[in-house]
Amino acid sequence: MSDHKPKKTIGNRPPRAFGWMAEYSNEHKLLEAARKVRDSGYTDTDAFTPFPVHGIDEALGIKPTKLPFIVLCCGLTGLSLALLMQWWMNGVDYMYIISGKPMGITPASIPVAFEMTILFSAFSTFLGMIALNQLPKFSNPVFTNPRFDRATDDKFFLYVSAKDKYYNRDSVRELLGGTQHDSLDEVIEDSTPDALPRPIWLTALLVVLAGLIPAMIILNMRNGFSTAPRFHVFFDMDFQPKKKAQQTTTIFADGRTMRPQVEGTVARGQLDEQDSFYLGYDPNKLSALENTDGVRLVATQADPKPQDTAKDGGTKVIPAANTPAAPAAALNLPWLTTLPIEANDENMKLGETKFQTYCSACHGYSGYGDGLVHKRAEALGQGFWIPPTSMHIDRVASQPVGQIFHTITKGQGKMPGYAASMNAKERWAVVLYVKALQRSRNASDKDIPEDKKPSIEDLTQPKTEAKK
Amino acid sequence: MATIASASALNPREIDNTDDIPGRRAQLITGNQTYSSVTEMVCRVAEDPQPMLWYVLFGFSSITAVMFLSLIGYLILTGVGIWGNMNPVFWAWPIVNFVFWVGIGHAGTLISAILFLFRQNWRTSINRAAEAMTIFAVICAAIYPGIHVGRAWLAFWLIPYPSLNLWMWPQFRSPLLWDVFAVGTYASTSLVFWYMGMIPDLATYRDRSKTPVKRMIYGLLCLGWTGSSRHWLRYEKAYTLLAALAAPLVLSVHTVVSFDFAVSQVAGWHTTIFPPYFVAGAIFSGFAMVVTLLVPVRKIYKLENLITLRHLDNMNKIILATGSLVGLAYGTEFFIAWYSKNPYEGFTFMNRAFGPYWWAYWIMVSCNVISPQLFWFKKFRTTPWIMVIISIFVNIGMWFERFVITVTSLSRDYLPSSWGYFRPTIFDGLMFFGSFGVFMSLFLLFCRYLPTIAMSEVKGVMSSSEHAEHLQAELLGGGHSHGHGHH
Amino acid sequence: MSLKYDKETIELPSNWKQYAPLLICAGLICLVVGAGLSFMGGRSDGGASPMKYLVHSYLANFMFLFTFSLGALFFVLIQFLTRAGWSSSIRRIAEIIMAILPWSAVLFLPLVVLLYTPEGSALYEWNAPAEEIHNSIIRDKTGYLEKGFFTVRTFLYFGLLTGMALWYFSKSRQQDETGDVELSLARQKWAGPLIMIFSLTVTFAIFDWVMSIDADWYSTIFAVYVFAASMMAFFAMMVVINMTLQKAGKLKDLVTVEHYHDMGKFMFGFVMFWSYIAFSQLVLIWYANIPEETNWFRMRLEGGWAYYSYSLIFLHFAIPFLGLMSRHVRRNRTALYFWACWLLVVHWMDMTFLIMPNVPGGFSVIPMLGHLLGGAGMLFVFAALFIVRSSGVPLVAMRDPRLPEALTYTNPLL
């Protein structure tokens, strides 16, 4: 039991005093003293005990905490978030169909909603307690008293703060001195320096810096470019024991991974119901013809070349003619007159692509026979060059679609057949495109649908006006 | 108050305080303890040099844990094919082990929360260790589904986050996703509960530390706790709220685990009693594990006066009660399978008991239902070595319960053409064994560095029961003597 | 060393006794008028046999009354099992409710007798002549669900429950005379085994009496559901009885705000537990979507029952859950009394929900009014039986050795 005299100094001033603290040997003495202090009118008081002493809140006049209210609010937030999350994620943004269960909020949403409610409530309870208690607080003037170590063991402390509006150093000492205390000390300012010791700073700095490294690496990788192969932490399925299309193999004699179609087979989905789809004419009608035109046409087919075993399937081998066939217009053949594919945007786009890939080099983008090859040949002045046929001359423009298909398939004159490069559907798409090209050359404004006219008129306006 | 207790001849600290004459409560902790002697007893566990046994056990269990971690690495590099999971039993040991460990992880929070709500003061001596055990068991449990997902490094896809790679969300109608939320909430809430409970005791450790480094570490861990009454007020409120929140949470976790099975249409899995029956089983196995751990702990660290025979007796009674509840659930299931006249249900249960897995079924019944019945006898409830054996049997039985549920139903379901017989591989066995290494290593570290008994709570109960005795004596008009009261 | 107390404070109010015959009469009148309404309404409705309304209604109302005693018996057993002290001063009220069990058995008798009449299958369809049962599953079950065996089992259930209740009641009464501590120890010792018998009995009794009205349906959790509901109803009834007695100037200082607080917590807890069990049953059946199981819920969501069934989510869970959440509500007499009455009403609704939708023809107002009147009648009968049972019995076991604990404990937290 001693009046604690501050021995150390802070800078060149004596440490400040924060109040008085008395020590008691049990909770009953503490409660008695606390009541006494409260009855004397002091309110800025506190008790420090190794366990919660019941009745101390009344004895000191501590108000109940508002923690339950905070927890209730956070719990309800968790509940609403969980319901909203499930409703939006599975009911709106990404709808799974799971055994025909309804989307959105169902009995199946309850477990997650419950867990989220508890999660939010529990964390708000803990964090709320920490925050309301203003913890962590590592420096506290009460720690300056070496006897205070036993506040977490078996001793009970009562503290009257100097901030209390009725505080008077001597009268408080007298008041606490009148209780059954074991010791009575003045709480003084902590004289140890405020700054953290240098090694702790350094360690903390190092830890923070080290912690930044992975983040920097990730940031660099996310934003930079690299030609080096990907670094695989986990292989996922990036390396699989399998061969891709153009790779070699030792398994097969020809060393190719890609295998040719087995002879006499048709791949699934490759066989159209109509033979005419692959030929451009009706073979039944052809064989019924009595004149020699049919025989001549068939004769050109009787000599298949190996490179032309087309993608269209083995049974439908359509060889390209390497001998010029008779002028097709002269033949009275059962050509298809309607397209076997639909004339829609998709096929038109396909036809355009294929046309520009395979045909435009000679025939030109508009089909006038003025392709790059032709221009080059003319520029070189090659006399033996036979110009490609324009598609807009009457002879070609009047051909039925089947005949154009046949020409693309088998070739004509110097033009090779394209059966090896394009499958039947693609060739039909080219036919569609060619027909569209032909028609576009002889179109009148009647052909333009009414609703499209304004937009076309826009195009014809001078640009300066359009800008307005 | 006169103590209704008698000391054992062999060990003077072993005092039988299991019985009390109605109207007079036997003391919860024996040996006329004071506040400082409680502090002393508990802090000594961490302050004194550890016994040789600690090093032996820790060496063994950490080697086992390292083996487990290496096997996890091997599994990730190779794939889940190293396990015995094979058509038709795709859910085999991994889920059995998961449910086993999660079940064990129920006792801690149950003791802290539900027994707290029921004002069972005896919980204060055992709750800390039980909560620690809970967290370690949940860690072991969470490993199994984590490594069972195949690409373990993408397990975070289970969390609903706005992913630029996936452009999709988890499937919230799946009970497996509910598990993620339930086990995740349970693990984090239990951790918070455990840590919050430890704050005042960590402050005690801080104030008793001899070296500045220790003082600083414990000081940081206890957040600068002073024991201020204002802090205590909010702390107790927070503790109460957490208890009230954790109580339904404990129930929900094993309920959700049971949903993994019960929402399906598999015969033997789809039965409505699964939720409460799983919860009862979890409490059962959890308490068994607490008994298995605390009996040696109290012996090694000489804590018999704090973890008294009464605590063990009470836990054994709970084991008996929950074991009988589990038995009732087995019976109800069997009865309804017969009563329902559903041929698939009927077959499944006959197949469990008399089919190819008859041995697992009868191990389960004898360990889970029959062995705890020994606890009807006080002799068995109060003899430490016997209760350890019984509690180990209980946990064996509970492992087999999950095995029986998972494997028997899957191996013979609706399609007899794909029936099969499950055979585990060596990796199944080693990885189950290895998880005990993780569990034990963590528990041993806990004993060494953290307060194993909630000192502040024990002291609080000492104070309040003294107060209660005082009030009762006043009501009866005095004349009541006081044992350890000190007015 | 015993407590000084005012003898009058633990006696039933003297004028209550004369109410007993009145209550019985009122109860019987309500039951008869209710039955009439059910019968007439059932007939005018044209759908189902009027007898079906009548017997289903009677079973639901019987369960309403029976569950109080069931909860009370469990409460008394668990208090001894856990050596509880706090409840010593309110336990006698529970013991009186529990001691009504033999009369409950008498009230169930008409339903047993019914099995042997030509209308024998009005309640239990499995009791129809074999050739009239078209559902093969039910036909398969008639080995177990058979009137003779059913009767034997019913007597066994009532025998066991009544036996336990009366034994505990007599020991408690003996202690009033002798104050012998051994009487507490004996009850403590037997509480464990008897709780096991109790749970088995209740499980099978609920399967037989309630679940088998829908003979091809089954749910393993069903008995737990009814048990949860019973406990909630029991605590609500305890609050109502204790407060009524205190209003009549009895039990002064013996039942404190702490007891109400605890009973409030139990009400709250069992509201949650009931919801948990109800949800578990619902979600598993909803999710698996097996037709023979979902049928039970389909019946409760069709024919006008949907609003009624959905309302239980709010009335039986959400509203009382929020209402009872606060400590201040549980410690406030008026508020707690209100919630106790609320829970009694929703408990009646719950028992109705379990049984009445099984009557073919859907929800119809007039028979339901009759059923409601029957429920009120059962409540009157219960009150009368309580008064008869408690006359001459002290309302508090004054010589219970743990009484001082009950009178001094506090609820510092929660």
Give me the CATH number covering residue A367: 1.10.760
| Dihedral sign computed on CA atoms, order A59, A62, A68, A69 | positive
Confidence band for A300, pLDDT divided at 50, 70 and 90: low
Give the number of domains in chain A: 2
Residue B21 placed within a domain: yes
Which pLDDT value is given to residue B239? 94
CA atoms within 13 A on the CB side of B19: 11
Whole-angstrom distance, CA of residue A406 vs CA of residue A410: 6
Residue A47 in 3-state DSSP? strand
Select from C283, C310, C324, C326 the residue whose CB has the most chain A CBs within 10 Å, as the one to mutate to test that interface. C283
CB under 8 Å to A167, separation ≥6 — which residues? A19, A42, A44, A160, A161
Burial A408-418 (b: 16+ CB within 10 A, else e): bbbbbeebbbb
Check: CB of residue B219 under 8 Å from CB of residue A102: no
- Single out the residue of A169, A190, A180 nearest to residue A3, CA to CA: A169
CB of C363 closer than 8 Å to CB of C306: no
For residue C2, is it within any domain? no
Is residue A316 very low, low, confident or very high in pLDDT (cuts 50, 70, 90)? very low
Q: Percent of chain A scored above 90 by pLDDT?
A: 34
CA distance C304 to C295: 15
Nearest CA in chain A to B217: A138
Q: Is C286 close to A99, i.e. CB distance below 8 A?
A: no
pLDDT of A1:
41
What does the block give as tokens for B176? 């497996």
Residue B386: count other Cβ atoms within 10 Å of its Cβ.
17
Surface-to-core class of residue A291, CB atoms within 10 Å of its CB (0-12 exposed, 13-18 middle, 19+ buried) = exposed
Q: What is the DSSP letter of B122?
A: G
* Token representation of residue B196: 């919050």
Between residues 148 and 177 of chain A, which touch chain B (CB distance below 8 Å)?
Answer: 148-154
The reported pLDDT for the residue numbered A10 is: 65
B179-195: pLDDT as tens digits: 999 999 999 999 999 99
Closest CA to A406 of A259, A277, A241, A242: A277
CA distance C248 to chain B (A): 25
Size of interface A-B (CB pairs under 8 A): 207
Chain C residue with Cα closest to B342: C137
Helices (H), C248-304: 257-288, 291-300
Q: In terms of residue numbers, what domain contains B237?
A: 6-475
Residue C219 neighbours by CB under 8 Å, 6+ apart: B272, B336, C211, C281, C285, C293, C296
Q: Which two tokens stand for residue B253?
A: 């976790």
Q: What are the pLDDT digits (tens) for C300-345? A: 998 889 999 999 999 999 999 999 999 999 999 999 999 999 999 9
Is residue A239 one of the residues assigned to a domain? no
C381 residue type, one letter: V
Closest residue to A98, CB basis, from B173, B208, B241: B173
Amino acid identity, position B249 = L
Q: Is residue C167 assigned to a domain?
A: yes
CA distance C395 to C12: 7
> Do A49 and A180 fall within a single domain?
yes
Phi, psi of C365 (to 5 degrees): -70, -50
Contact between residue B75 and residue B430 where contact means Cβ atoms under 8 Å apart: no
CB contact under 8 A, C290 and B274: no
Query: Which residue is closest to C282 within chain A, CA to CA?
Result: A107
Enumerate the β-bridge partners of residue A256. A248
A23 and A172 part of one domain: yes
| Core vs surface per residue B416-434: b (16+ CB within 10 A) or e | eeeeeebebbebbeebbeb
Is C404 contained in some domain? Answer: yes
Which helix (DSSP H) or strand (DSSP E) does residue A411 occupy? Answer: strand A411-412
Number of domains in chain C: 1
With respect to residue B485, please indicate whether it lies within any of the assigned structural domains: no
Q: How many CB atoms lie within 10 A of CB A222?
A: 7
Q: Which residues of chain B have pLDDT under 70?
A: 1-10, 478-487
DSSP B228: B
Give the separation between CA B85 and CA B79, rounded to whole angstroms: 12
Residue B309's Cβ-count burial label (10 Å; 0-12, 13-18, 19+) is buried
Q: Angle, to 10 degrees, between the axis of helix A67-88 and the axis of helix B229-262?
A: 30
The reply to whether A50 falls in a domain is: yes
**Same domain for A426 and A288:** yes
For residue A297, what pLDDT is reported?
62
Q: Are residues A423 and A287 in the same domain?
A: yes
Q: How far is CA A41 from CA A58, A62, A159, A167, A170, in A?
A: 14, 14, 14, 10, 15
A234 and chain B: CB distance < 8 Å anywhere?
yes
A223 residue type, one letter: N
In terms of residues, how long is chain B?
Answer: 487
Q: Is A56 part of the contact surface with chain B (CB cutoff 8 Å)?
A: yes
- Cα separation values, A351 from A20, A370, A371, A405, A429, Å: 96, 19, 17, 12, 4
- Check if B436 contacts A (Cβ < 8 Å): no
Decide if B226 and A68 are in contact by the 8 Å CB cutoff: no
Question: How sure is the predictor about A461, in pLDDT bands with cuts at 50, 70 and 90?
Answer: low
Q: Which among B114, B273, B322 is the top mutation candidate for probing chain C, defined by the most C β-carbons within 10 Å of its own β-carbon?
A: B273
**Average confidence (pLDDT) over A157-167:** 90
Q: Which of residues 363-392 of A touch B (CB under 8 A)?
A: none
Flag whether residue B241 sits within 8 Å of chain A, measured between CB atoms.
yes
Distance from CA of C407 to the nearest CA of B (A): 8
pLDDT of C171 strictly over 70: yes
Q: Do both A41 and A150 map to the same domain?
A: yes
pLDDT at C43 over 70: no
User: In 10 A of CB B410, how many CB atoms?
Assistant: 21
Query: Looking at the domain assignment, is residue B484 inside a domain?
Result: no
> Which DSSP string do the residues of C4-20 spell out, in sequence order?
---GGGGS--GGGTTHH
Q: Report yes or no on C413 lying in a domain.
A: no
Residue of chain A whose Cα is closest to the Cα of C280: A107
Binary contact (A138, B224; C-beta < 8 A) = yes
Domain span at residue A22 reads 1-192
Locate all alpha helices (DSSP H) within B222-342, ordered by sequence: 229-262, 274-300, 309-339
User: Residue A466 — very low, low, confident or very high, per pLDDT cuts 50/70/90?
Assistant: very low
User: How many domains, in total, are found in chain B?
Assistant: 1
**Is A309 a residue whose pLDDT tops 60?**
no
Average pLDDT over residues A276-291: 78
Pick the closest to residue C321 from C281, C374, C267, C361 (CA basis). Answer: C267
In a mutational test of the B interface, the residue from A79, A81, A152 whose CB has the highest number of chain B CBs within 10 Å is A152
Partner-chain contact C282 A107, CB within 8 Å: yes
For helices C181-209 and C50-81, give the axis angle rounded to 10 degrees: 150
- DSSP letter at A3? -
Question: Averaged over A209-228, what is the pLDDT?
Answer: 90
Please tell me the distance from the alpha carbon of residue B32 to that of residue B41, in angstroms, as a whole number. Answer: 13
Kindly list the residues from chain C whose CB atom is less than 8 angstroms away from the CB atom of residue B320: 192
Q: Are residues A171 and A290 in the same domain?
A: no
Residue of B nearest to C81 (CA): B317
Q: Does residue B294 belong to any structural domain of this protein?
A: yes
What pLDDT is recorded for position B2? Answer: 41
Would A241 be classed as within a structural domain?
no
Is residue A221's pLDDT more than 90?
no
What's the gap in Å between the CA of B24 and the closest CA on chain C? 8
Provide the shortest C-alpha distance from residue A177 to chain B (in Å): 20
Say whether pLDDT at A131 is over 80.
Answer: yes
State residue C304's pLDDT score: 87
Its ipTM equals 0.93
Name every chain C residue with its beta carbon within 8 A of the beta carbon of A107: 279, 282-283, 286-287
Q: What is the DSSP string of A328-390?
A: GGGS---B--S-SS--SHHHHHHHHHHIIIIIHHHH-TTSSS--HHHHHHHHHT-TTPPPPPP
Which chain B positions have a beta carbon within 8 Å of C292's beta carbon?
A: 342
> Which secondary-structure segment (H or E) carries C168?
helix C147-178
Residue A1, domain member (yes or no): yes
Task: Give the confidence band of A11 by pLDDT, cuts at 50, 70, 90.
Answer: low
Half-sphere exposure for C153 (CA within 13 Å, toward CB): 17
- Identify the three-state secondary structure at position B241: helix
Alpha-carbon gap, residue B451 to B439, rounded angstroms: 18
**For residue C365, what is the enclosing H or E element?**
helix C365-390
**Cα–Cα nearest to B270, from A36, C284, C232:** C284
Q: Beta partners for A161?
A: A19
What pLDDT is recorded for position A293? 62
Q: Is B117 an 8 Å CB contact of chain C?
A: yes
Q: Quick check: A108 and C283 CB within 8 A?
A: yes
- Which domain, by its residues, includes C321? 9-408
**What is the three-class DSSP state of B422?**
coil
Name every chain C residue with its beta carbon within 8 A of the beta carbon of B344: none
3-state helix, strand, coil in chain C (%, to 5): 75, 0, 25
- Count interface pairs A-C at CB distance under 8 A: 14
Looking at residue A324, what is its pLDDT? 43
Question: A192, A222, A257: which is the final residue of a domain?
Answer: A192
Residues in C closer than 8 angstroms to A101, CB to CB, are 287
What the block records as the tokens of C190 is 């037997």
Buried b (16+ CB within 10 A) or exposed e, A236-259: eeeeeeeeeeeeeeeeeeeeeeee
Q: Per the omega criterion (within 30 degrees of 0), is the bond before A136 cis?
A: yes
The answer on pLDDT for C83 being more than 50 is: yes
The sign of the dihedral angle between the CA atoms of C192, C195, C197, C200 is negative
The residue among A192, A210, A245 that closes a domain is A192
Cβ contact C284–B272 (<8 Å) = yes
Any domain includes A231: no
Report DSSP state, residue A233. Answer: S
pLDDT at residue C203 tops 50: yes
Rounded distance between C-alpha atoms, residue A95 and residue A101, angstroms: 11
Quote the longest CA-to-CA distance of chain A: 138
* Both tokens assigned to A401: 């679609």
CB contact under 8 A, A99 and C283: no
